[in-house]
A and B are shown apart, each in its own frame.
Chain A
Amino acid sequence: MKFDRRLLLNFDWGFLLIVLAICAIGLLNMYSAGFNLPGARGASPCLRQSLWFLLGLLFMGISFSIDYRDIIRYAYVIYGVSLVLLAAVFFAGEVTRGTQRWLSLGGFSFQPSEFVKLTMVLVLTRYFTVHEKEGKYSLRELVVPFVIVIVPFLLILKQPDLGTALIILILFVSVILFIGVQWKAIFIASATGVLLMPFGWLFLKDYQKERLLTFIDPQGDPLGSGYHILQSIIAVGSGGFFGKGFLKGTQSQLRFLPEHQTDFIFSVFAEEWGFIGSLVLMILFLALIVWGLRIARQSRDLVGTLLAYGVTMLVFWEVFINVGMVVGFLPVVGIPLPFMSYGGSSMVVLMAGMGLLMSVSMRRFILQP
């Protein structure tokens, strides 16, 4: 692949700026979240997250340097590797708090399930570009992509990681609705889904059931399972309009808020920066998503459109579900807030995804129809 000068000319600086702005807020917030953690041996969470961010930048650079069509060409290979990694989690994975999500590779541990989120976008893009269709897809034509999705879905559900499994399913639904499905297919699929729901309840772990029940009635057990959501609401609300100030959030600094660096990172931010800060962050995320959708729309090929759309929707759903959960809008499921939650896997994978978006964006003029 030879270097084209036009690539540099068309580089999407605005998009990069939005991503970097969110990452900067994320790192600043991580400094606060890790500020009073006595258990942080060695590097503080902020420092570690910074390293992950730099690694993420590297992956971003790699992914926008390569022509995304070449990457999509290897989508099934990547998918295969993902499945192997997911399977490996069951044999070699680390068990933390009753779940088996982590895989250790030469001193680093990472979460294959985070990787799988992006893989799903790649593999679905691949499938629906190869099997491109003028009209709408029928139920039978969706069986193969469904199987492609359901295998990692079940593996992740088994870990158990309800949040990631849910994201994968929602991504799948988002993609097929986007490319067009017959009304009959939609009806049958949703009817089947509703019928299967009671069985799904049986497969849920106790803590997952509890979380769902807690969402319905958070006051029911304020010190048990409702504790999380109640403390989170107190944290967000107590921020008020202007916030308590950087490093001054008592809910997080005094650790009333469990898991405040990971899934509940937004409440740390909302407590210290208030409504104003939260609004700014939401506008940045909205800008990123709208920009991502524009990239999808402006792409000159279906691969670019689906790829950009998939990655953007991944960010959208993660932001919406995570923040919705933190403000007591949605049930508690383990989904990280993009660029904000602590975690290398999520950071690196998302940065790579951003690289793909930029890749689609800057290649829209090279590609001739």
Chain B
Amino acid sequence: MSEKRHKFSRYDSAKFRNAFGVLIWVVTISMSLLVVRMWYLQVIKGSELRLQSENNRIRIHESKAIRGIIKDRWGVALVENQPSFDISIVPGAVRNVVDVVRALEAVYGSQGLEFRRDISAAEKNRPFIPMKLARNVSWEELSLVETNSLNLPGVVVDVVPIRKYIDGGMTAHILGHVGEVSQEELKADRSGLLKTGDRVGKSGIEKYLDSYLRGINGGEYIEVNAIGRKVKTLKRVEPVPGNDVILTIDAGLQKAAWEAMEGKVGSVVAMDPRDGSIRAMVSSPAFDPNLFNRGITLEEWKKLSADPFRPMENKAIQGQYPAGSTFKIITAAAALGEGIITPETTFNCNGSFHLGNHEFKCWNKKGHGRVSLHRALVESCDVYFYNLGKLVGVDKLAEYARAFGLGDLTGIPLPSEKGGLIPTKEWKLRRFGQPWQPGETISISIGQGYISVTPLQLLNAYCAIANGGTVYVPRLIQRVEALDGEILQEFTPRIRSVVSLSKEHMDAILRGLWGVCNESGGTGWALRRPEADVAGKTGTAQVVGQKGRWEGVKSHDMPWKWRDHALFVCFAPVDNPEIAVAVVVEHGGHGGSAAAPVARKVIDAYFRIKAEHDKAYRGEKSEI
């Protein structure tokens, strides 16, 4: 012990003096390095890492806005929102996810589950974020899952609103459909509200008024912990429901038109000639817009797009046809308006018309004899209008056709409208580099040749005859209303152009159209109602390039795709027209036999519905 004390006493700390000097430096520099690193992380990269920590903890649980309702003119809903059910699993709430999914498969059937067995590391770290297993399950499947919920821990059902198009294909081409927003639509979005996965209008009114209908999605900003379990709600934004749209369509008339077109390919449009309001618009065959709700499969889409009857197309505004004999009112108007004929001017029809060494036949080979404008319209004498066309010339015909709104977009508030074509001399030179042939004018005068129009354009032109010369922009939407009834936008009738034709000349044409339906020999006999109040015109449009080839062959003996298109346009009551209808039956054969009966059903339905509404209105009044 004493020896050791002695040892201590010999101690000289000078030996370590240098070592301590170095040590102080080593320690200070080491600690400074840590502080420099902290400066880098906390001050230089501080805001960036602050953002990362915010992203770590905040999640947005979106609640989708409910889309606005689309109603007919009487307030009848044409589309509703329906709850749709998605099945998800919360992996963190289950001991073994695969076991539960297997149990679910046993209950639900193994088809259609989106579950992937290879859960990513990210999902493993966020076990309280639900994973989608199945979308839009049926009521039966849902109730199966719910009754077995004891065996299915962690399985949750999300309610998502989806569109329910009450009448399916009947209103498909007016209302359109919705689908998931595309990359292009996201880029084009100026509101900045659209996000991937949102559903937007893809066609029809759904697309045209999407910004009104869509509403604004809300959501909850929730704070989550590291495993994704909710800690608290930071902020809640209620979704703003979309606005309602009231159309000019009459659901009852739409239904009548739809039923009248059953089994036919073509379209029906009905319009109020007094203000251009569209009352019905049917294109047949149609697609079921409800198909797009659950995300259309590739197979279904292929089937729709490969269908030779083009169900996706709205034939009323996208189908372009030769106007056929329905064009004769334009030829008549041009001849009258230019003073070339009077209503009393007559031409002789012996069944054909010669220009140079070319012969143009009348549909009636026997000929109509000497006919005035009235008889020519009633019997649809081709030769009479060949004469007019030759005298008027193609450019004047085109001028009048355009004044009536043919060959140009009508401006209907629907996407993808087609313009059609009214040829002129200049057009042909530009298009083909060839001068106009006089014989081509002859074809144009009865609505054949290069002419193509849409059924809606045709209807618009006839409405101008019906109302004394005003061409309206077709009106499909009455107004947009907020949920509280506030009117956000009113769509008043808009005049597109006024045809400058004297009342006398207008009347002459109108009387001729009345005769078509009500006089003996008239081609529109199908519209001979007891009230004798319908005026109209048949049309039979030859399919382009088939002229002459099937001469003498009865329509129903030809192959379907080369048969003539059947057209019919009419309005009623003739003295004060309030409804006009255009019908095109593709490859239907004769306008009088194939298209006119469809128009008849629509006209009848119109007056029936009108009577019902009047009765209801009177009943309301008497109660007061």
Contact = CB atoms under 8 A, between A and B. Distances in A.
17 contacts: A69-B8, A233-B41, A236-B41, A237-B45, A250-B56, A254-B223, A270-B42, A274-B42, A290-B24, A293-B20, A293-B23, A296-B16, A297-B20, A298-B13, A301-B8, A320-B34, A328-B41
Given A240-B46, A293-B24, A320-B30, A256 B8 contact: no
Interface in B33-84: 33-35, 37-39, 41-43, 45-50, 52-54, 56-57
B6 to A, nearest CB: 11
B19 interface: yes
The 6 closest A-B pairs by CB, nearest first: A237-B49, A238-B53, A240-B46, A237-B41, A301-B8, A254-B225
Nearest to B120: A223
Contact of B42 (A224, A236, A254): A236
B38 A238 contact: no
Given A234-B56, A240-B43, A290 B20 contact: no
A227 interface: yes
Nearest to A301: B8
A256 B223 CA distance: 12
Contact of B31 (A178, A286, A328): A286
B230 to A, nearest CB: 11
B226 interface: yes
A245 to B, nearest CB: 13
B121 interface: yes
Interface of A: 69, 129, 132, 178, 221, 223-224, 227, 231, 233-241, 250-251, 254-258, 270-271, 274-275, 278-279, 282, 285-286, 289-290, 293, 296-303, 305, 316, 319-320, 323-324, 327-329, 367-369
Interface of B: 7-9, 11, 13, 16-17, 19-20, 23-24, 27-28, 30-31, 33-35, 37-39, 41-43, 45-50, 52-54, 56-57, 121-122, 124-125, 223-227, 231
Contacts of B225: 254-256
A237 B13 contact: no
Nearest to B57: A250
A289 B19 CA distance: 15
Given A238-B50, A293-B23, A223 B124 contact: yes
A300 B16 CA distance: 12
Contact of A254 (B37, B122, B231): B231
Contact of B27 (A278, A286, A305): A286
A274 to B, nearest CB: 6
A290 B27 CA distance: 8
B175 to A, nearest CB: 45
**Secondary structure type dominating chain A contacts:** helix
B57 A285 contact: no
B-side interface mostly = helix
Contact of B34 (A69, A238, A305, A323): A323
B8 A303 contact: yes
Given A240-B47, A241-B43, A250-B56, A278 B224 contact: no
A296 B48 CA distance: 44
A193 B141 CA distance: 67
A293 B8 CA distance: 19
Contacts of B227: 255
B57 A256 contact: yes
Contacts of B124: 223
B35 A224 contact: no
Given A234-B49, A240-B50, A367 B38 contact: no
A300 B543 CA distance: 119
B53 A251 contact: yes
B20 A316 contact: no
B226 A275 contact: no
Contacts of A303: 8
Nearest to A233: B41
A223 B53 contact: no
Nearest to A235: B53
Nearest to B46: A240
Contacts of B19: 178
Given A250-B53, A255-B226, A270-B38, 18 more contacts: A221-B121, A233-B41, A236-B49, A237-B52, A239-B42, A239-B46, A255-B225, A279-B35, A290-B28, A293-B27, A298-B13, A300-B13, A316-B30, A319-B31, A324-B37, A327-B34, A328-B41, A329-B37
A255 B121 CA distance: 18
B41 A316 contact: no
B229 to A, nearest CB: 9
